[in-house]
Amino acid sequence: MTANIEIYTWSTCPFCIRAKALLQKKGVEFTEYCIDGDNAARAKMTERANGKSSLPQIFIDDRHIGGCDDIYALEGQGELDPLLQGQAA
């Protein structure tokens, strides 16, 4: 069973591009919400992300992971793959 992965992005954000590249390298499907200029979508993301408004914001099975540095940290600690497979870490 694979996890439900969601990522809020801006189209030209280098951190967003880097985070998506890691997910693509892992071969997982994810839902991208490109919120360029959409204040309502950004407000919804900020609420889901416990007040974080920077981009990207990543959620795995409705669990807030954080941003680009956070997902790469999980990868470095060997904790990302279990999350992507739908296994709680």
CATH number at residue 45: 3.40.30.10
Task: Please indicate, yes or no, if residue 45 is contained in any of the structural domains.
Answer: yes
Indicate whether 26 belongs to any domain.
yes
66: containing domain: 5-84
Residue 76: inside a domain, yes or no?
Answer: yes
- CA–CA separation, 58 and 36 (whole Å): 16
Number of domains in the chain: 1
Confirm whether 51 is domain-assigned. Answer: yes
Would residue 89 count as lying in a domain?
no
Q: Is residue 24 part of a domain?
A: yes
Query: H-helix or E-strand containing 45?
Result: helix 39-48
Instruction: Record the pTM.
Output: 0.94
Q: pLDDT tens, 2-46?
A: 899 999 999 999 999 999 999 999 999 999 999 999 999 999 999
49: CB partners within 8 A, 6+ apart: 8, 57, 64, 66
| Furthest CA-CA distance within the chain | 35
